[in-house]
Structure 1
């Protein structure tokens, strides 16, 4: 039996128990999605966008349905008493006893997708997407979707505190398929933080999709902090549509998993949209992380900035594939794309492929990539001032990461990411000041 057939069998056995099983449009869409995955299977290295990332090891794994194990300690640790609107999911299933949405202004809706499918399935359908969108991985997510967050902000609603979506991979060999939907009406604004964490040393699979639709002049900042265990597999997709004058900022922070793949797509469907894609990853051992991005400038006068930084140690590998597509008629586009990688070992490897595809006139577009090691001159400077070699390397490594941290505007999240970087440095080095 092929791995695709295994997932089809899992779908057949469990489809009556899925969230929204009684919603006709979703039940039909799930079946079409699993049929697509059965036809296509996992992406392979024969596909250009997957040339540097193999899922062969993942395909050999056996995973179990989510069971929502105990994760109270992990949930409390990630919250740390921080204010905000908190939804917690354990092995992909909503955990109301660990969540605390708190008070919301009129016109703001933050709740589990499973609840929204019961109370307002038509509203969910508006932003849910369909089985044809994205790769076969997105289709598998749709077919086996367990739960997720449903966020809807009415016209002009501004949330003062962040929304935190916490996904805990708790059970050994568990596979979870969260799907998050974000709908921001005209002029609405919010900060949304997705935390992905694991516990113990379990081998798990997280296949997650987040879809966001920004109406004119809406503003959403999205931060993804991925810290699953060293044996985890993480496949994440972020798909965004931006209407006229909207602003979308993405910060992808990847510090865990045996293999992590992050696909990020945003499309400008109206004029004068803005986006920032900011990424930082750290990989060591034999771990592998891959960021693939697409910014679609489909309308005039769009502005995009894209900066990704990777730190690689031991025999780890990092991949960046970024594409900026400027469509015909998207005059006045202003786009910058850059990827920088720091190798801490001679055996670490970084692949970078920034791309510009331009079909319009009167544009300002630039891209570039660097791969290098710690500067010997900088090391010498610090050593001559009394710093030992290990501390000097840690300080320079942290300084490299700090440029990505500075772009995160939410102070509490910036400090959380800075702490994660410090914990990864040898000896959990105490470098840098709290952000």
Structure 2
């Protein structure tokens, strides 16, 4: 028996039981989609470090666990810390262990805007919209984790912003994990459709309750940005210390539109975020930025593809990493410029700050260009705090640890200042300060 079969065979029984529960409760096309995705998962098996895309991230710890779909509710009082202080977020959908919690959700949205549970949407008036974006996406063919998500997706959200509508307040999707037992898994799928000339801000957050056992979040997000639309998208990953988080985001960006993605990686023992932005019509623009803050025992992997398919498109990518203790980070950013994508303007940057001699980062920015009239640049740095800057602060009377902490925060400030949502900026400030405080106590 091959290793791939050994690693995936335990999911066959789970899938058959899961499919039986859903039989008759969802459209036939969805059943076929699940079955095809699971067959693809069995064929692919979990990726190994022999796969170029996973060369620096070993998912064997995930493959060794017998994860099962999370079940059961939880005392809402345990969730209070995650639901307070959200004054700037009047519209939110809350999911606990993969299940939608309408009792914890609030919606104040303009007429025509849809923010709904994926399961309810499949059985309701939005089935055709979801079929167009789910059945036609081919997401499950990409890799084993996307296949597994498609096979088991049950919770998640549909966000639809109609033509010409501007949503003034952010829409938050909050995915909380509070598993009652080891090896629970959730498979959220989010579908976002911003029609022509619309505008909205989305916050996609993941968190685990304190002391949560080992669990897996395997999330896929599909975004469509229509002509002339503007979509701002924040992803904040602050899973529990024993969690695994595998995420994938795909955005198709239309003519003259702008997609602005900022990702913040704070939690999980092992995390991976695969990002694909397709600039498929002239004049499309994107900004893809992020910060990963990792400490001892953490491994954070970011893979991105900015796919320039048509002329006169612009992309900006700026990622920063702060690594402390015995930690590991991976950044692989690829900009692909097709032959017809003349007058492309693309810039990519990855900078990393190592606060410990045991921290390690593998960074690989890539440009693949097949057009001859382009303006493209990329670069990566890995280093420690600048001695000259430290000396300057020390000469002004600051003690060493305070000087180091100020410089560390200053390194992250470019990403922090970009965030326009007060609660996210405060969360990130707190995470950086807590990490620096832990260094002071060590």
Q: TM-score, normalised by structure 1?
A: 0.95
Is 1:10 the counterpart of 2:14 in the alignment? yes
Deviation at 1:21, TM superposition (A): 4.3
Q: What is aligned with 2:341?
A: 330
Contact map agreement 2:25 2:123 (CA 8 A) in 1: no
Contact map agreement 1:146 1:177 (CA 8 A) in 2: yes
CA distance in structure 2 between the partners assigned to 1:68 and 1:150 by the alignment: 23
CA distance in structure 1 between the partners assigned to 2:98 and 2:53 by the alignment: 27
Residues 29-88 of structure 1 show CA distances to partners (whole Å, capped at 9, x for unaligned) of 100100000011111111111100000111111323211431524543233132321100
Deviation at 1:17, TM superposition (A): 2.6
Deviation at 1:131, TM superposition (A): 5.1
Deviation at 1:377, TM superposition (A): 1.7
Q: What is aligned with 2:322?
A: 311
Q: What is aligned with 2:387?
A: 376
Q: What is aligned with 1:67?
A: 71
Q: What is aligned with 2:118?
A: 113
Q: Could you tell me which of 129, 134, 145 is aligned with 1:123?
A: 129
Deviation at 1:243, TM superposition (A): 1.1
Q: What is aligned with 2:152?
A: 144
Change (3 A) 1:227 1:118: same
CA distance in structure 2 between the partners assigned to 1:73 and 1:157 by the alignment: 36
Q: What is aligned with 1:197?
A: 207
Map 1:382-397 to 2 at 5 A.
382-397=393-408
Is 1:175 the counterpart of 2:185 in the alignment? yes
Deviation at 1:18, TM superposition (A): 4.1
Contact map agreement 2:26 2:122 (CA 8 A) in 1: no
Other structure's SS at 1:406 match = helix
Q: What is aligned with 2:254?
A: 243
Q: Could you tell me which of 210, 214, 227 is aligned with 2:221?
A: 210
Other structure's SS at 2:31 match = helix
Is 1:360 the counterpart of 2:365 in the alignment? no
Q: What is aligned with 1:432?
A: none
Other structure's SS at 1:271 match = coil
Q: What is aligned with 1:49?
A: 53
CA distance in structure 2 between the partners assigned to 1:181 and 1:20 by the alignment: 23
Q: Could you tell me which of 96, 102, 112 is aligned with 1:96?
A: 102
| Structure 2: stretches of 5+ with no match in the other structure | none
Other structure's SS at 2:437 match = coil
CA distance in structure 2 between the partners assigned to 1:73 and 1:20 by the alignment: 35
Contact map agreement 1:29 1:130 (CA 8 A) in 2: no
Change (3 A) 1:187 1:20: farther
Q: Could you tell me which of 392, 412, 420 is aligned with 1:409?
A: 420
Contact map agreement 1:248 1:276 (CA 8 A) in 2: yes
CA distance in structure 1 between the partners assigned to 2:141 and 2:261 by the alignment: 20
Deviation at 1:157, TM superposition (A): 1.0
Contact map agreement 1:68 1:90 (CA 8 A) in 2: no
Change (3 A) 1:18 1:162: farther
Q: What is aligned with 1:260?
A: 271
Contact map agreement 1:19 1:147 (CA 8 A) in 2: no
CA distance in structure 1 between the partners assigned to 2:24 and 2:48 by the alignment: 31
Change (3 A) 1:74 1:380: farther
The range that moved more, 64-73 or 188-197, is: 64-73
CA distance in structure 2 between the partners assigned to 1:54 and 1:281 by the alignment: 18
CA distance in structure 1 between the partners assigned to 2:219 and 2:246 by the alignment: 6
Is 1:233 the counterpart of 2:244 in the alignment? yes
Q: Could you tell me which of 118, 125, 134 is aligned with 2:142?
A: 134
The range that moved more, 373-382 or 357-366, is: 373-382
Deviation at 1:218, TM superposition (A): 1.1
Contact map agreement 1:68 1:170 (CA 8 A) in 2: no
Q: What is aligned with 1:161?
A: 169
